[in-house]
Every structure is written in C-alpha cells, then in structure tokens.
Structure 1
C-alpha cells in the first residue's frame, strides 16, 4: 500500500482549499533579510495594470462581466500547444518558472557543490532528470529490482509483506495511509487510511456509459496495452494484462465514494482500534503495514471509507494472485514513467491528450523542474524567495491580511441571521487564524535524503520515500504547526482547518495578483479576494465544522445551522444552473465550498477596500472609479482560455467552478457591483433580491 504525504492525506479527508490566479515587468533593486542585494521582478504602477486592451467593450458589463473584463485578452492569448488552459495563473507560473529554470541550470552546472548540501541535491536531482541519454541507456535496469519483488510473490502472506514494504515503491495501489492531526483531537497525530488505487482521474470515468466516458476507457486500454508491450510483453499478453488492470480498477471504482460524498467530513471519520481494523480487514494485515511504516505504536486508525477497505480486503483474498501482481506491476510503472525511456512518456502523453486536449508535450526541463519542486521544493525554494520576494512585499501582504481580518469581523457582527453565541464563536475562530506568508519560518531538513547523478529513477524513489517518511515520523510527537503543504514558488494558496491556518506562498504574491507598487483597488480586487477566499474556507459548508483549535466540533446553534444550510442551498442551486458546455453543468454540491469561499472572499475584500484612502477619495484612474477598478482587477485575475476536454474533466473532478463562474457567480449576488457599473433590473448580471445569495 502507499503512504500518503501530509498534503495528500489532509486533502483527501478535508479537501484543502486553494485558489489559482502577466503583465509587463520591470526590475528594481532591493535587499534581502540577510542584507544582500538582489533583483526583484515586479510590475509597473498605474493604469497599465488594468489595460483597456484586455477588455471587450462590445459586451455590456452588466450582461457578461467576465467577457467584458477579459474578452480582449482572451482573443489575443490563445492556449499554447503544451497547455490545456492559459490564464493569469499560468502566466504567473511561467514567470516563476523562468526564475526557477535559471536557478536549476546553475545548480546542475555546479559539480563542486558541498556533498550533502541542498545545492548538491537540487543540482544532482535536476541534472539526473535532464540526462536523457543516461535514462535511455539504462532502459529498465533500475526498475528491474522492483519488478522482481512483485514477481517473487507466491501467496497472500507474500503479498501482504510486499504491500507493507516502504521501499517497494508500488505507486498508488489498493489504498493509502498517512499521519495528520486527529480532526476531533487536533493536538495529537492520528493514522488515517483512505481509498486509492485508481489511474483515471475519478471513479466515474470507469462507471459512466456516455460516449465520451467509453472513448476514454478505450484510450486507456490502448495506453495500458502499449505500456505493457514496452515492458516486454507480447501483444496477446499485453492485451490480457491491460484488461486485468482495467477490470480490477473498475471494481475499486465501484467501491469508491464519489467526490461529493468525500466532502462529508463526519461520514469520512471512522475511528477504530487497529485490532478491530485487522479483524474487519484481515487480508490487509494492517499491523504489519503499520509496523513497517514505523507506526507500530499506533493503537487506533481513522478509516475514511470502510466499505472501500472491505472490498479491497475481499479482492486480496479472492482475486487471482497473478492478476493482483499485474495490477501492482502497472502501478509501479506509472509512478516511474518520468524516469523511464521516452517511449513510456510518449504513451502517457498520448493518453493525456484524450483527457485534456493538450496538443504538445511539455518540455523536458519543465517536467524536470516540476519534479524537483515536488522532491526538494523548500531546498531550492529558498533561492527563489531570495530573488523574487522581498521583505517589504511580505510586510504589505501581512497588512492586507490583517485588514481583511478586521473587515471579516465586521461582516460577522453585521449579519442579521446569526445568534450572538454563534457570532462569538465565529469571531474566536477568525481571531485565531494563523497566517503564513511567503515561505516557512523553519525550512525543511533534507539531510536524510541521498541524491546522486547515477540514476534519476533512484532519485525519484528516494525523494518519494523521504516525503512519506517525513510525514509518518510525526506520529507520537507534538503537533508541528510550522509545516507547509505548498512550496514557496507555488502559484496557489490554501486553508487548513486542522491548523486553522491560511497560507500564501511567495509564488502567488506576485503581479498581477499582488503588486506592491499598484493602487489598492488592484490589490484588493485580486489578492484581497484570494485572502478573503481562504479566510471564508474557515466558514464554508465544511470548514465551519471545525472550531478555533482545528477540532471537528459543532459550535453552531441549531437555528443558525439551519439558516446557514438554507443560504448555502441557494448558492448550490445558482451554480447548478451554470453550463459552460452543451449538456455539461457545474455540480453545485461538489463546488459548494469553493463557491461559498469565492462569494465570501470577494465580499470581505470589498469591505476592506472601502476603508482605503483610494476608495474614500473616489478619484477615477483611466476613466474607471476605484470600485470599478476593484471589480475589474478581480475579474481579470480569473481570465482563462481552456480546452473543452480539460473543461469537461474539471467539471467532473475539480471542486472549483470554471473561471468564468468564479467571476460571474459572486458578482451576480453583489449590489455593490450593480451600483459600480450602473446595472439595472433585467440585466443578465442582476439577480432578483429573493434569489441573491449572501452569507457574510
């Protein structure tokens, strides 16, 4: 079985929430906290940040504000061939990658770095990933010992030993487990086990009978067959093995909970003793797995989906051993593909085209950079921060957060539907938010990770093993609230209810989301809405179930709970009606938490912006009032072109609504937006008072 990382484990149980959001750049000189001079890339001030060239003035802002704000940009920025979508987040990520690429090339060229140093590990990991000649020459040499382990299994006991082996690197078979704070006792770590084992993006891909789902399964079969051929199977055997993998994964899919059911925190928290779990699922041999993972002292385990583990237990006892080994062989190979000869990667890309519509495979350096970030993100993230994120930017971002916290407290107190007792608990939780900005105060220690130039596959497996052990080692120790679930260059943000924290990596605190030189309307409309979004996750349909200390605990009165659910149901109904593609609708239940966070985040950001001198002076810039600039900045932070295939996949698997509805949905509920652009009743962006959704 596979150990989850802390991020995977928390995301499966809690749905860690994230927000995604370039423009002309200038360079200014500043100094790092160490006093060294560095170059920081930023954006110019003033009206260029909200260029009129990005607009589509053929559309009325009160009819389709997303198109009005972004139509010009969308027309002039087609999706690059290697991308499945293109927007502000992708532009910013590309700019960050330029910096990271330079850092990694320099590290890889430095063959005299101190052995064991972060520089040596970063350079050798990236260097081995880029050495395609060595990868091609090695072929399956470095994978063979792992394939041999699978081939050597002779019975159920041998299978149990293999699944428990932390050095087997089997990928993602059957189910996974990891360590995270106990959701009902957040001051101690718990062992959590949950469903896993699928290759396709979601259980429904195996089960739906529509034409597109059948086409994807046919393409998956081809992918399986061709990959087994590359492993040396003859065509008939490859076809048989492909059918076996798809059959077993379909059985797992039938036992898996769908993504809406996985959002029900109460139903995904099932604590039992290890002894009871071993009695219920004897074929999993959990005591052995926990012992081999260094968790032998664990007496209890939180089972996310008991019915799934019951089915896996049945399968391990009933499915032919040869079929089980074929399934494991497939999952081992899929986790190793980045470090195998290019033919394997080509097959993976061909299948991904069916899923996402991508036209061209990403460059080797970009794929290698992503892998380095996943393996050693905080090691070379330090170098990124020193170049791209100044102490002054961190200080201003911190001030923005505190301004929004104040605005949120005012919104809570102003609600007309919450009782005084629930308001008091909400304020207690809000004031307890831990704020992390830019980068960790305590960097991760990679001294136990051994990296060399010999083999990219060995490095890849060593890094994954290190990441799993870095998670598992926390068990039995005091809660470490310093850990981050994202690396510094990441263009994203998140709220973690177990720590009651909001986290904003340096990667997202860049133009156009956050520009220290821009006017307040631009910053509050973009990064302010992101900050408010993450804050609101503490009070969305799932986050609100956690208290100020990060415990899964009901602190709402019965009446307030009913009122909240009624308001949330209105939001769900609104988003259910959105249809970006023919016959494809947004799932209001799956996207509920993100939609509530978008609506609340924009509301809070607007309230905070109203306290700024710019909002109070109400002077126009380039013909736009401060309020109009605020809403334009918000809308432009979500501009995005997306391939239809990728959009379909997003709607089926992603808890975030498509970009246009992340703009349209909240604004259609905001009278402040109507007023800013003079929208009248009857306009497409204006909802009737009875249909407007507002919680905060």
Structure 2
C-alpha cells in the first residue's frame, strides 16, 4: 500500500515532502530546495567560472577567425618569380610618397631617375636573344639557325670589320660606277644607278617604295610610293640660326664621309655642299600629314603609266620591277602615291640636275648610301653617324639617344634578317604552352568584362550597343607569335639566297636582298592569316582595323607585366589593362565628332568634354606639356582600359579562390592591382611634341586612377585630394 500511496493519490503530509524535496530532485536541480546557508558561499566562484568560460569561447572564436582569414585571404607568394617582382617594385619606386597625391613617383620614382618599364622589358628580351645566339650549339649546315648564329658572330667580330677598313665599301661604289670625288667615275645611266640602289642596297634617295596592304578596303597588297627619310631636318622655315647650325653639322658629317673614302678635300667640300642643297630643296616639297589630311589627299591611286607622265624623270617601271622581283609589273600596275605633289616636284628637280649637275647627283646618291650602310662599316663611320645624330637632337631640343652596346645592335640586325628563326627560338624559351594558355584566359576575362560594360553605357542606344558587342565578339586575337613561329618546320628556313662573307658589309647586303625577296614572296602567296607588324620578342601590342585583329606579342607578356605564377592582381593590373586599352581602339571612331550618329550625342559630348577638362587640370612637371585634343582618344582608352581591367579582376576574385600577394609589402591585393597598372606606365617625363598622341607619363597614371572610385577607397584617399576628386567622368 505504501508503494500504492506513493505512486497513486495524494497522501497526507505532501506539502512538507515537497518543501524538503526528494533525493533525485536535489541531484537534478541543485539550485532549488538547497538550504540558504549552503548556496551563498559558492555564488562568486560560479560567476568567475562562467566568465572564464565565456572569455575562453571568445578567444577560441578569435583564433578560429584568424585561422580562417589566413587560409582564405591572400597568401604571400614567395616563389622566385614573385620575389623577383618584389625586388623590381622596391627598386623602381619611392614608397615614401603619398599615394593619394603622387602615385607616379610612388611607382616610378626610383633613386637614380625614373624607371621606364617598356624600354627595360625590350632590353631584357634582347638580352634573352643574346643568350640564345651566344649559347654553344650544333646546327644543320646551311640551316637558318646556323646562318643566324654566323651572322651574329660576324657582327660581333669588330676586329675583322676594322681590319677590312673601307675596302668593302669602295667595292660597292665601284659597282655603282664610282664617283667624281675620288676621280674614278663612269657615267652610268641615272635610272640604272637608282634601280641598283633600291634593289641591291635598300637605299631610296628620292622617295620610298614598299609593299603594303592598300589603305582602303579591301586592303589588297599594293606598291606604295611615299616621302623619303632624311638624315637632317633641313626646314628653311626654322629659326635662321638653328637652320644654319644644322647645315653646318650636316656639312661636317658629309665631309667626314668623303675624307674617309680618300676624296680630295676641295672636291669633297663642293659635292657635300650641293648634296645639302638637294636635300634642303627636297625637304621643302614635303607636306605635313595634317595638311594632306585636311585637303582630303592622303593618297592617290594611279598606274605606273600615269605616274610616268606626271613624274617623267624616274623610270618607274624599271626601278620598281628591279626592286619588287619576283613580281611581274606592267604599265597598268596600280600604285598608291601618298604625296603626289611631292613626287611631281621631286621629278622636276631631278630633271634639272641631270642637265646641269649629273656628277653632283651621283655624289648625292653615294653619300646617302654611305650613311645608310654606316652600321655595317668600321668604327670611324659609325662614330661620325652617331655624332651627327646626337648634335641634331641637341639642336632640335630632343633628348639624346642612349648609347647601345655592340651586342644589342647585333641582336637587332640579326633579328631583322633572320626573324623566322629567332622567333621560333624565342617562343620556345620564353612563351611555352602554359604561358600561352594563361594569357588567353586573361584576355577572355578582359573581353567578357568589356562586353558587360557595353551594356551599361548611357550614351549608346540599343542598336549601337548591339553592333559594338558584335564587334567585340567577332574580334580575332593573336597572342604570342605568328603561326609560322609556332611550327618549327616553317621557321627553319634555309635562306639559300644568303651568302655570308667575306666581309660583314657583304653579308649585310646579301641579307638585305634576301629579306626584300621574302617580303615580296609573302605578299604574292595566298595568306589567310593576319600579317604581324611586330616581331614576337617585341613589346608593342596593336589593333589592326583592316583585319579586325588585336595582337599581343610574346615579348610583351613577360615579367614584370605578366607571368602565370604572379598574383592575379599583377596580371590583371599590368597586362590586363594593356589588353583592355587595345580593345577600346575598336571604338575610336565612335568617340570622334559625328562618329556615332545613333548615339546620345549630348551625353557623349558631355562625357568627352568632362574628360578633357579633367586631364587639363592636372599639374605637370617642369617643361612638360601636352595637347589635350590630340591625346583625347588615348586618354579615353587609358581610363576605360583600367576600369575594365579592374572590373574583370573583381569578377575573377569571385570565381576563383587562392589569390596571392607579394610578401613583405603592405599592399592588399586590390592595392597591388593599381600598383601594377602604374608600373606599366613608368617612363621618363620629357618635353612633349604637340602632335604626340599620348599624354605625359604622370597623366597616364594619375588620370585613370583618379577616375576609379575603388582606388581612393582602397588607398584611403581623403575627399578632394588629387586622386580622389569631387566628381568623375562617365565615358566608359
């Protein structure tokens, strides 16, 4: 019953039992039913224990968050390529400068002057070619590799060139009939001599003739006649004092050439003076490109027969046929003449000289040829040429040309004549499949970001936007090297027509003829691919409007602009901004006045004027200046290119994990993106030509950075500082 009572109804004495509690109720709820004198002493200890527990949980969470951050955030890249990049950035900039007021100096202002990224990269590529050409190796006899290595070796053998002296050059002059200065002159027909100069020696004393695609659609190959290139700028409208100084320096140079060849000093002086007179008169016939453009006469299409009537002093058919063999020319062959008025005036001058001063005309052509061939001659001729160039640059207030070591000149010469061979060797060493794939992936990300950006441009209507997107979608891209450079069997040409030796000059002349023949042959053969305008080791990307193709050579996609092992911030900021800039060249026409009839012209004009005013407000160092109207298109491409590259980079962070950054630098990944962009633009400030299409280097950095709100955000720039202006332009 007892058990029944405890389990069943409510027994007597229930209220007392409840107050005292049961044994199991005391274990399960110790705070309830405890005597007051038992619970009070332990209360502080319990509170301390509870606080310790909470603090432990908080500390543990913090450690966990740090662990997660360190494993999910950017990790330092400590590979050799990243450490080398870190050393470059450290050496090329000035970290003590305020990023918000002078980012140009921060990125480019090294201790001993301003760094020049493109020039440095070009020299590094040539150094790589030098190592290739000087590495020991065995090549198949008569192969392109063997001849390229032999040519480079003979170019570097300066002692042999010095020992040969003027002998090889005198032989060339004798083949042309000699000249009156030396007393041994055989009067050869003028046009026969001119044809020899053009075809065998690559010298064009009165005009230039070359084979290029037609300037207008369908851009078929055509022989083009253009203005000549002169050694000295003999413009009579120059300040009289400067003009007299230029004439004096040029006369000194021509006298040196004649004297080095053993000419009688009196005759040399006489012939040199008349040669300068001929050059000066030809110079007066030139019309600036802007003038011809304003008159709508950039070029004329005429037949050889028609040109013969307009400029009869030149036997056009025989001279051009000799130059462009194996083409078969006829009187009805169409030509493109870039300045018809110059050609007519040139012909009249030559006709008068043939009547009165035939021997002086011969001397003028010979003196010009000697100048052209001077790189292949001994040190006395080269020094005379170098001295002339430096003095002319001083007189025309241009910066002096840097002195290049002999190996660099020889690399450039070898690359000119043996490009297919050197292209294959360079690509094999410097641009493997993994680099090619990474570069193409980067370009695809940039192109996708541009297409997305086009959807949001307020000044484009739907029709224009659709056309713009189609233009980008159907664009061809060439990355690395031409197809023939990626196929070793095509690059290993035998160059059977090249005969090297016995002198370096004769080797050069044989290469000149071989190169011209290969160029002509390439235009005669069906060629469905775009013809590259740069060598694979070059650093200049470009957009070709006729072929609608954008080209990024392997030489450009090298450190410090690009490497598969770099942090993505570097590749997007440097190479990516270059790619985006070149893509925007597609739309240059739209930004010109009247170039986009279906656009919101008011919005477009306001954005364009805003950008011009924005650039005009920037301070410039020293004597640096620029023409905002001339540089507008490039400024627009700089601003838009950086913005598109940053958008592409931001999207990549969402799609891909594992971003890295450079070690031992207080730069976030986003800051590193902007730092890498600025590195691309580094070069020395210099007085700008009013016709220069690029802004000074500081503006090419500050202009775009100040238009990206993210730059000010990530570098914590106060409102109103130079790179965080109160308003921005909305062009791209």
Give yes or no for TM over 0.5: yes
Instruction: Tell me how far 1:439 sits from its aligned partner.
Output: 1.7
What is the CA–CA distance in structure 2 between the aligned matches of 1:280 and 1:602, rounded to whole Å? 51
- Select the residue among 483, 487, 505 that pairs with 1:457: 505
The answer as to whether partners of 1:151 and 1:325 remain within 8 angstroms in 2 is no
Residue 249 in structure 1 maps to residue 279 in structure 2: yes
The answer as to whether partners of 1:197 and 1:252 remain within 8 angstroms in 2 is no
C-alpha distance 527-157 of structure 1, shift in aligned 2 (>3 A): same
2:521 is matched with which residue? 473
Instruction: Tell me how far 1:306 sits from its aligned partner.
Output: 2.1
- Select the residue among 405, 408, 428 that pairs with 1:366: 408
Higher mean alpha-carbon deviation, 42-51 vs 662-671, is at 42-51
Q: Please report the RMSD computed on the Cα atoms of aligned residues, expressed in angstroms.
A: 3.9
The answer as to whether partners of 1:259 and 1:653 remain within 8 angstroms in 2 is no
Instruction: Tell me how far 1:258 sits from its aligned partner.
Output: 3.2
Residue 503 in structure 1 maps to residue 551 in structure 2: yes
Number of residue pairs matched? Answer: 629
Instruction: Tell me how far 1:199 sits from its aligned partner.
Output: 1.7
1:613 is matched with which residue? 653
C-alpha distance 610-255 of structure 1, shift in aligned 2 (>3 A): farther
Higher mean alpha-carbon deviation, 440-449 vs 92-101, is at 440-449
What is the CA–CA distance in structure 1 between the aligned matches of 2:561 and 2:295, rounded to whole Å? 32
Residue 345 in structure 1 maps to residue 382 in structure 2: yes
1:33 is matched with which residue? none
Residue 133 in structure 1 maps to residue 162 in structure 2: no
What is the CA–CA distance in structure 2 between the aligned matches of 1:252 and 1:209, rounded to whole Å? 19
1:158 is matched with which residue? 189
- Select the residue among 659, 671, 680 that pairs with 1:628: 671
The answer as to whether partners of 1:529 and 1:602 remain within 8 angstroms in 2 is yes
2:131 is matched with which residue? 102
Instruction: Tell me how far 1:418 sits from its aligned partner.
Output: 2.5
Secondary structure class of the residue paired with 2:229: coil
Instruction: Tell me how far 1:188 sits from its aligned partner.
Output: 2.6
Higher mean alpha-carbon deviation, 511-520 vs 305-314, is at 305-314
Unaligned runs of 5+ in 2: 1-76, 180-184, 486-490
1:604 is matched with which residue? 644
C-alpha distance 530-322 of structure 1, shift in aligned 2 (>3 A): farther
2:94 is matched with which residue? 56
1:660 is matched with which residue? 698
What is the CA–CA distance in structure 2 between the aligned matches of 1:501 and 1:47, rounded to whole Å? 31
Instruction: Tell me how far 1:446 sits from its aligned partner.
Output: 5.4
What is the CA–CA distance in structure 2 between the aligned matches of 1:27 and 1:228, rounded to whole Å? 60
Instruction: Tell me how far 1:44 sits from its aligned partner.
Output: 2.0
Residue 418 in structure 1 maps to residue 451 in structure 2: no
Instruction: Tell me how far 1:457 sits from its aligned partner.
Output: 1.3
What is the CA–CA distance in structure 2 between the aligned matches of 1:316 and 1:579, rounded to whole Å? 51
The answer as to whether partners of 1:513 and 1:523 remain within 8 angstroms in 2 is yes
What is the CA–CA distance in structure 1 between the aligned matches of 2:399 and 2:713, rounded to whole Å? 40
Superposed, 1:161-176 pairs within 5 Å as 161-165=192-196, 166-176=198-208
Secondary structure class of the residue paired with 1:557: coil
Secondary structure class of the residue paired with 1:190: strand
1:198 is matched with which residue? 230
- Select the residue among 254, 260, 283 that pairs with 1:230: 260
What is the CA–CA distance in structure 1 between the aligned matches of 2:528 and 2:92, rounded to whole Å? 45
- Select the residue among 551, 554, 564 that pairs with 1:516: 564
Q: Which has the larger radius of gyration?
A: 2
What is the CA–CA distance in structure 2 between the aligned matches of 1:610 and 1:451, rounded to whole Å? 56
Task: Tell me the TM-score normalized by structure 1.
Answer: 0.79
Instruction: Tell me how far 1:340 sits from its aligned partner.
Output: 0.6
Residue 538 in structure 1 maps to residue 586 in structure 2: yes
Q: Which has the higher contact order (CA 8 A, sep 6+)?
A: 1
What is the CA–CA distance in structure 1 between the aligned matches of 2:308 and 2:591, rounded to whole Å? 32
Secondary structure class of the residue paired with 1:302: strand
Residue 529 in structure 1 maps to residue 577 in structure 2: yes
Secondary structure class of the residue paired with 1:651: coil
The answer as to whether partners of 1:88 and 1:639 remain within 8 angstroms in 2 is yes
The answer as to whether partners of 2:446 and 2:648 remain within 8 angstroms in 1 is yes
Instruction: Tell me how far 1:558 sits from its aligned partner.
Output: 6.7
C-alpha distance 184-98 of structure 1, shift in aligned 2 (>3 A): closer
- Select the residue among 69, 75, 94 that pairs with 2:111: 75
The answer as to whether partners of 1:442 and 1:482 remain within 8 angstroms in 2 is no
Higher mean alpha-carbon deviation, 151-160 vs 507-516, is at 151-160
C-alpha distance 67-156 of structure 1, shift in aligned 2 (>3 A): farther
Secondary structure class of the residue paired with 2:163: helix
Secondary structure class of the residue paired with 2:344: helix
C-alpha distance 503-217 of structure 1, shift in aligned 2 (>3 A): farther
What is the CA–CA distance in structure 2 between the aligned matches of 1:271 and 1:693, rounded to whole Å? 43
C-alpha distance 209-675 of structure 1, shift in aligned 2 (>3 A): farther
Secondary structure class of the residue paired with 2:642: helix
The answer as to whether partners of 1:50 and 1:632 remain within 8 angstroms in 2 is no
Secondary structure class of the residue paired with 1:436: strand
Higher mean alpha-carbon deviation, 118-127 vs 168-177, is at 168-177
Unaligned runs of 5+ in 1: 1-25, 29-41, 80-85, 546-553
1:4 is matched with which residue? none
C-alpha distance 136-478 of structure 1, shift in aligned 2 (>3 A): same
Superposed, 1:277-296 pairs within 5 Å as 277-292=307-322, 293-294=324-325, 295=327, 296=329
C-alpha distance 555-593 of structure 1, shift in aligned 2 (>3 A): closer
The answer as to whether partners of 1:128 and 1:454 remain within 8 angstroms in 2 is no
Task: Tell me the TM-score normalized by structure 2.
Answer: 0.76
The answer as to whether partners of 1:494 and 1:504 remain within 8 angstroms in 2 is yes
What is the CA–CA distance in structure 2 between the aligned matches of 1:465 and 1:239, rounded to whole Å? 33
Question: CA deviation digits over 1:573-606, x for unaligned, max 9?
Answer: 7767888675553244554554443333223222
C-alpha distance 569-121 of structure 1, shift in aligned 2 (>3 A): farther
1:3 is matched with which residue? none
Instruction: Tell me how far 1:329 sits from its aligned partner.
Output: 1.6
Secondary structure class of the residue paired with 2:174: helix
- Select the residue among 308, 329, 350 that pairs with 1:316: 350
Instruction: Tell me how far 1:189 sits from its aligned partner.
Output: 2.0
Instruction: Tell me how far 1:526 sits from its aligned partner.
Output: 0.7
C-alpha distance 55-132 of structure 1, shift in aligned 2 (>3 A): closer
- Select the residue among 209, 225, 230 that pairs with 2:239: 209
What is the CA–CA distance in structure 2 between the aligned matches of 1:331 and 1:565, rounded to whole Å? 50
Residue 299 in structure 1 maps to residue 333 in structure 2: yes
2:82 is matched with which residue? 44
Secondary structure class of the residue paired with 2:441: helix
Instruction: Tell me how far 1:302 sits from its aligned partner.
Output: 1.8
2:368 is matched with which residue? 331
Question: CA deviation digits over 1:31-61, x for unaligned, max 9?
Answer: xxxxxxxxxxx72269827745644344332
Instruction: Tell me how far 1:405 sits from its aligned partner.
Output: 1.3
Secondary structure class of the residue paired with 2:82: coil
The answer as to whether partners of 1:620 and 1:626 remain within 8 angstroms in 2 is yes
Question: CA deviation digits over 1:323-352, x for unaligned, max 9?
Answer: 432332222112211111111111122233
Higher mean alpha-carbon deviation, 557-566 vs 396-405, is at 557-566
Instruction: Tell me how far 1:259 sits from its aligned partner.
Output: 5.6
1:31 is matched with which residue? none
Question: CA deviation digits over 1:503-531, x for unaligned, max 9?
Answer: 22221211111021111111111111111
